Each structure stands twice: as structure tokens, then as C-alpha cells.
Amino acid sequence: MATNLKNLSDFSHITVGSAVDLHITIVVAQWNAQVTAPLLEGAYNYLLKQGALEENIQVVQVPGSYELSSGADIVLRNKQIDAVICIGCVIQGDTPHFTFICDAVANGVTNVSLKYNKPVIFGVLTTNTLEQALERAGGKHGNKGEEAAVTAIQMAHISNSIK
């Protein structure tokens, strides 16, 4: 949120805020569904907890993380919404695919966000093992889908407040 700060090192004004008036789309990859399903649940339930209306949350499935940015592009081209959350999980394998997919989705998400001037949140786990991914999808390291929803709400408010 834009604010005039007397103390420039005070970051406490960045709160999560309400999602009551927000329209948010979650684009989720089907690859590694045992990880992306709990991430999706974490994001969706957090939006509801912050007051978002079910009818204002759309979920769009795409095949893999590589397709997340084109999924976000399709959504933003066709719908007036406040933010997109991209959820995926890329797990390191024996071939260089990991690097290609991670680079593509990270750059793609940034580019779509800048193209439409809308928050597009990177809720993609990039891990060495399935175990590490599960630990971050509701396990001992929390749920990164929920964290992506926190960021989406914060960025939507920032975006909507600066005109």
C-alpha cells in the first residue's frame, strides 16, 4: 500500500488485508498432483479465510508448470481480475529439464505480470526431491500455496491502491 512514512525502515504497514472484494484466479499444474493439490487447497482456503467469495475464485488447470504462464496469459486476456496465483511443482530429475522448466516458468510469470500490469504470483516449488516438495505442501515447512495467496492479496491491494 502506498503510504507516506516518517520512518522509512518501518515495514509494519504491509498487512495481508481482506480478500472480500477481490477476484483471483489460481492456475494450477497437473504434473506432480500429489504436491500441487495440497498447494491449491492451501491457497484456496486461505483466500476464503480472508473473506474471498467462492464465486470470485476461479481455478484453471494446465498440464504442467511450463504451461502456467500461458495459462495466466489466457486468463488475464479474457477476464478482469485482481491477481493470478500460479501453482506448480518441478522436481529435479536426471536430465536438464528441471532447469529449462524452472527458467521458463519464472521468466514467463514475470513477463505476463508486466504485460498486463497485474500481480501474477510464483507459487511454484522447485525441489531436489518429492519429499522436499511434500514438506512444503502442508508438511513441516508449511504450505507454500497459502503463502502465495498471502502475496496475491497483498499485491492486489498494492496494485489497486496506486492509480
User: Which residues line the annotated binding site?
Assistant: 31, 65-67, 89-91, 94-95, 122, 136
* Least separation in angstroms between CB 28 and ligand DLZ: 10
Residue with Cβ nearer ligand DLZ (18 or 129): 129
Q: Does 97 bind ligand DLZ (CB under 6 A)?
A: yes
Q: Does 64 bind ligand DLZ (CB under 6 A)?
A: yes
The sign one gets for the Cα dihedral 131, 143, 45, 77 is: negative
The continuous run of DSSP H or E covering 92 comes out as none
Q: Does 82 bind ligand DLZ (CB under 6 A)?
A: no
Q: Does 90 bind ligand DLZ (CB under 6 A)?
A: yes
Is there a contact between 91 and 133 (Cβ–Cβ < 8 Å)? Answer: yes
Residues with Cβ within 8 Å of residue 118, at least 6 apart in sequence:
76, 81, 82, 83, 84, 159
Secondary structure letter of residue 97 according to DSSP: H
Window contacting ligand DLZ (CB under 6 A); options: 1-9, 28-36, 40-48, 49-57: 28-36
Is there a contact between 25 and 149 (Cβ–Cβ < 8 Å)? Answer: no
Between the alpha carbon of residue 94 and those of residues 107, 139, 162, the distances in Å are 23, 25, 45
Window contacting ligand DLZ (CB under 6 A); options: 6-14, 58-66, 72-80, 139-147: 58-66
Residues found near ligand DLZ in the complex (CB under 6 A): 29, 31-32, 63-67, 88-91, 93, 97, 101
